[in-house]
């Protein structure tokens, strides 16, 4: 087990394509860190530099305190699980898992013992003599994890390991990976573009965009205090609503209508008011609550989910999603008032896209 | 009366649908092609079963079939010797070509290095040069190096082939990099990755290449004829043709030898072709 430290790590491809721009990151021993961001933001490149599959263009990479920039993957003793599983079709499950021990000096009995133990952990014991073609997608991914496990590596790297699975299997494998981490306690760096995976798995999430790290924090921190509108929209589902607002002498207006918002000093005149759908409530029974943030909108569409209903409304030209509790289902075309508690609002400067201190 | 449920009418429609004009043309062409390809083989077999006096009667079914030719050829020490020579040379050349063609093809497909494209084009361009043009330089080279009339002299031009390099490169390009990188992380060196991971993933290509190379070497005539000068080193095609030049042309012996010579090619094909059909590649990926 080991810490992983990135200091000013960068990657430039070929003719000056900057895939990763001088990022700093400290990963603690035994931590589960998830790199998340849209496709093409440099997550895989970062992971592959840690693995040793990609040459490092600048900065230093330390594993367990030692600089490993120039080391081969095998000297780093890390294991990696790929999106496409990369298990070998010409080998049985046992041979595939055992392949992780290809260069190990263990004798045959010890190797088999490790393979059996890994198979046991992953529920693969009945399939040890099968070939990958006779396995389901989830089982194949487990074989890939098994091959990583037997090595007893200092860290596991996962590159979008679940994106080829259907939604149900993905949810199941997510739990299994989390349990595995709790049992083994090995450092894990996990790449995904799926914020739900990031939220559910991570001790710490690293949000990336265009080769930069935008924000690092626990899932709750990112959810509660996004530093800019990118993270605010990226974390949480449905995404946070952003209502354009203007700071006037008397307060704040949205679409010419004044609203109740406590403003911090500083920042420009153009603002974005962020409010999460689950805290943006359409509930006629609570109308007229004093001190609440309230805006009127026209119902565009409704999505009843059972315990609540997602209400798509148009506030001026802006689309927003609010929730209606219980069986309150507003009619399409109706004008409704959506409300939020002052404490649940996020304020952003529309120009810099950075968060303003929360009221 | 015809109803929708009338079975006879349904059958009638079915028959009409089956014999469409397009089908007839296809079958006719295939039939003609088949006849053109099979007839010489049948005549070879037929002639090998005739006695020397009957070979010009051109009957497809021999009047008095006899196995005497086979007994004569098989008990002839020369034939066995040539058979061994051909087998030895074809097997060595095939093993060597498969090994080196795959290695070069893999390198060209999976490694980035300066001049890679140039190397590939240079190798490909040798495909445009016919054997006949190469024979003289080969011969001069062999003469200088003392390779005339040796097994090595017969084999060396086929130890690595441009066609094989091209074929293997194309196949290795379809092997996903993840497979190789996973092995790299597991600590295999580049040779082991090629041999233990990449090669098993392209068995269909290897089998196809092995069949082509074996057949090419087995039937090679021009170069072995030129580079050998003692009977002991003749390959089967060269040896059989020598039946034609001594005394009178012994067609029945040539045809018998040729018939026997097809057996190894059949075996090679039957053994290897099942690997061609089996598409193993994708099973280890995705769901
Ligand atoms: N081998 C490569 N050569 C050139 N550019 C690359 C290469 N691999 C990735 N890139 C570029 O680097 C950027 C980051 O890619 P990647 O790390 O794969 O993103 P992610 O995994 O976050 O989707 C992308 O713009 C991509 O086009
Ligand atoms: Mg990626």
C-alpha dihedral over B47, B50, B56, B62, to 10 degrees?
A: -90
Q: Is the pLDDT of residue A248 over 90?
A: no
Helix H or strand E segment including A95: helix A93-99
Contact A137 B182 (CB under 8 A): no
- Give yes or no: residues A124 and A266 share one domain: no
Q: Is the pLDDT of residue A309 over 70?
A: yes
Q: Is the pLDDT of residue A253 over 90?
A: no
Q: Which has the minimum average pLDDT: A42-51, A84-93, A255-264?
A: A255-264
- Give yes or no: residues A205 and A266 share one domain: no
Supply the residue whose CA is at minimum distance from atom 21 of ligand 1: A44
- Give yes or no: residues A282 and A222 share one domain: no
Q: Is the pLDDT of residue B188 over 70?
A: yes
Burial (0-12, 13-18, 19+ Cβ within 10 Å), A208? buried
Backbone torsion region of residue A268, taken as left when φ is above 0, otherwise alpha when ψ lies between -120 and 50, otherwise beta:
beta
- Give yes or no: residues A129 and A163 share one domain: yes
Q: How far is CA A324 from the centre of its chain?
A: 27
Residue B262, C-beta contacts closer than 8 angstroms, at least 6 positions apart:
B41
Q: Per-residue pLDDT tens for A182-216?
A: 999 999 999 999 999 999 999 999 999 999 999 99
Q: Whole-angstrom Cα distance, residue A304 to residue A315? A: 20
Mean model confidence pLDDT for chain B = 85
- Give yes or no: residues A210 and A247 share one domain: no
Q: Whole-angstrom Cα distance, residue A345 to residue B122? A: 67
Residue A172 lies in a domain: yes
- Give yes or no: residues A278 and A217 share one domain: no
Q: Is the peptide bond before A102 cis (omega within 30 degrees of 0)?
A: no
Chain A partners within 8 Å of B287 (Cβ): 136-137, 140, 164-166
Residue A80 lies in a domain: yes
Residue A76 lies in a domain: yes
- Give yes or no: residues A229 and A247 share one domain: no
Residue whose token pair is 């296809």: B26
Both structure tokens of A283: 């509930």
Residue whose token pair is 């950075």: A354
Residue A341 CB neighbour total at 10 angstroms: 14
Q: Is the pLDDT of residue B280 over 70?
A: no
Q: Whole-angstrom Cα distance, residue B242 to residue B224? A: 13
Residue B136 CB neighbour total at 10 angstroms: 10
CA distance B177 to chain A (A): 9
- Give yes or no: residues A292 and A209 share one domain: no
pLDDT at B75: 87
Domain end (from A180, A208, A233): A233
pLDDT at B107: 96
CA distance B182 to chain A (A): 7
pLDDT at B6: 52
Taken in order of first residue, the domains within chain B and their CATH numbers are 2-54 (no CATH), 69-286 (1.10.3720.10)
Q: Whole-angstrom Cα distance, residue A139 to residue B287? A: 10
- Coil, strand, or helix at residue A227? coil
Q: Which residues pair with A347 in a beta bridge?
A: A273
Q: Average pLDDT for residues A325-343, to the nearest whole number?
A: 87
Q: How many residues does chain A have?
A: 359
Angstrom distances, CA of residue B61 to CA of A126, A199, A315, B167, B263: 60, 81, 94, 42, 21
Residue B113 CB neighbour total at 10 angstroms: 8
Residue A354 lies in a domain: no
Q: Whole-angstrom Cα distance, residue A258 to residue B181? A: 59
Residue A83 lies in a domain: yes
What atom in ligand 1 is closest to the CA of residue A37? 22
- Give yes or no: residues A221 and A244 share one domain: no
What atom in ligand 1 is closest to the CA of residue A208? 22
Residue A84 lies in a domain: yes
- Give yes or no: residues A218 and A282 share one domain: no
- Give the Å distance between the CA of A276 and the centre of ligand 2: 28
pLDDT at B54: 79
Contact B185 A79 (CB under 8 A): yes
Contact B185 A85 (CB under 8 A): no
Angstrom distances, CA of residue B127 to CA of A105, A207, B90, B120: 46, 53, 20, 11
- Give yes or no: residues A52 and A165 share one domain: yes
CATH number (domain holding residue A67)? 3.40.50.300
Largest CA distance in chain A: 79
Q: Which ligand is nearest to the CA of A209?
A: 1
pLDDT at B278: 57
Supply the residue whose CA is at minimum distance from atom 25 of ligand 1: A40
Burial (0-12, 13-18, 19+ Cβ within 10 Å), A3? middle
Q: For residues A192 and A41, is the Cβ–Cβ distance under 8 A?
A: no
Domain housing A340:
238-349
pLDDT at B287: 35
Domain end (from A233, A255, A287): A233
CATH number (domain holding residue A246)? 2.40.50.140
Both structure tokens of B6: 């009338």
What atom in ligand 1 is closest to the CA of residue A42? 17
- Give yes or no: residues A164 and A101 share one domain: yes
Number of domains in chain A: 2
Q: Whole-angstrom Cα distance, residue A112 to residue A118? A: 10
Q: For residues A197 and A27, is the Cβ–Cβ distance under 8 A?
A: no
Contact B181 A82 (CB under 8 A): yes
Residue A357 lies in a domain: no
Residue A296 lies in a domain: yes
């Amino acid at each position: 087990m080991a810490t992983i430290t990135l200091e000013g790590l960068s990657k430039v491809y070929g003719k000056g394509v900057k895939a990763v721009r001088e990022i700093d990151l400290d990963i603690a021993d035994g931590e589960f860190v998830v790199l998340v961001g849209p496709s093409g933001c440099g997550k895989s490149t970062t992971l592959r530099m840690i693995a040793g599959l990609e040459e490092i263009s600048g900065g230093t990479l330390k594993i367990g305190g030692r600089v490993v920039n120039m080391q081969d993957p095998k000297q780093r003793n890390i294991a990696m699980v790929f999106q496409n599983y990369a298990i070998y079709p010409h080998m049985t499950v046992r041979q595939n898992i055992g392949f992780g021990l290809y260069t190990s000096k263990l004798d045959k009995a010890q190797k088999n013992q490790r393979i059996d133990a890994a198979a046991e952990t992953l529920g693969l014991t009945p399939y040890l003599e099968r070939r990958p073609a006779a396995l389901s997608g989830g089982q194949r991914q487990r074989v890939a994890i098994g091959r990583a496990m037997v090595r007893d590596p200092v860290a596991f790297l996962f590159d979008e390991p679940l994106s080829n699975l259907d939604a149900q299997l993905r949810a199941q494998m997510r739990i299994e990976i989390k349990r595995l981490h709790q049992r083994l306690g090995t450092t894990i760096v996990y790449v995904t573009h799926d914020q739900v995976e990031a939220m559910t798995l991570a001790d710490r999430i690293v949000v990336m965009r265009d080769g930069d790290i935008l924000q690092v924090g626990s899932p709750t921190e990112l959810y509660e205090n996004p530093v800019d509108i990118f993270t605010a929209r990226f974390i949480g589902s449905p995404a946070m609503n952003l209502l354009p607002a203007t700071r006037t002498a008397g307060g704040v207006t949205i679409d010419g209508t004044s609203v109740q918002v406590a403003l911090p000093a500083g920042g420009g005149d153009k603002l974005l008011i962020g409010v999460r759908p689950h805290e943006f409530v359409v509930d006629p029974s609570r109308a007229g609550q004093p001190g609440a943030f309230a805006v009127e909108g026209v119902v565009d569409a409704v999505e009843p989910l059972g315990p609540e209903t997602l209400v798509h409304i148009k506030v001026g030209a802006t689309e927003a999603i609010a929730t209606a509790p219980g069986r309150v289902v507003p009619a399409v075309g109706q004008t409704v008032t959506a409300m939020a508690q002052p404490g649940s609002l996020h304020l952003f400067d529309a120009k810099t896209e950075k968060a303003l201190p929360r009221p | 009366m015809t109803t929708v449920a009338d079975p006879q009418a349904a059958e009638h429609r079915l028959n009409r649908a089956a014999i469409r004009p397009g089908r007839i043309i296809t079958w006719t062409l295939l039939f003609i092609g088949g006849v053109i390809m099979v007839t010489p083989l049948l005549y070879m077999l037929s002639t090998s079963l005739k006695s020397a006096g009957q070979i010009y009667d051109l009957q497809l079914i021999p009047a008095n079939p006899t196995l005497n030719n086979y007994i004569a050829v098989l008990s002839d020490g020369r034939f066995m010797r040539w058979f061994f020579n051909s087998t030895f040379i074809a097997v060595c050349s095939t093993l060597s070509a498969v090994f080196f063609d795959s290695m070069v093809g893999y390198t060209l497909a999976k490694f980035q290095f300066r001049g890679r494209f140039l190397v590939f084009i240079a190798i490909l361009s040798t495909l445009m040069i016919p054997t006949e043009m190469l024979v003289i330089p080969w011969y001069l080279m062999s003469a200088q190096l003392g390779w005339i009339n040796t097994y090595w002299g017969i084999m060396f031009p086929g130890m690595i082939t441009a066609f094989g390099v091209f074929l293997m490169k194309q196949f290795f390009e379809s092997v996903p990099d993840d497979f190789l990188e996973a092995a790299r992380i597991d600590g295999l060196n580049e040779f082991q990755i090629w041999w233990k991971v990449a090669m098993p993933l392209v068995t269909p290509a290897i089998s196809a290449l092995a069949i082509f190379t074996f057949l090419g070497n087995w039937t090679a005539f021009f170069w072995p004829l030129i580079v050998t000068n003692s009977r002991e080193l003749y390959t089967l095609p060269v040896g059989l043709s020598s039946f034609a030049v001594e005394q009178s042309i012994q067609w029945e012996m040539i045809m018998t030898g040729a018939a026997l010579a097809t057996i190894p090619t059949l075996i090679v094909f039957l053994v290897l072709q099942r690997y061609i059909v089996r598409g193993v590649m994708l099973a280890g990926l995705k769901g």
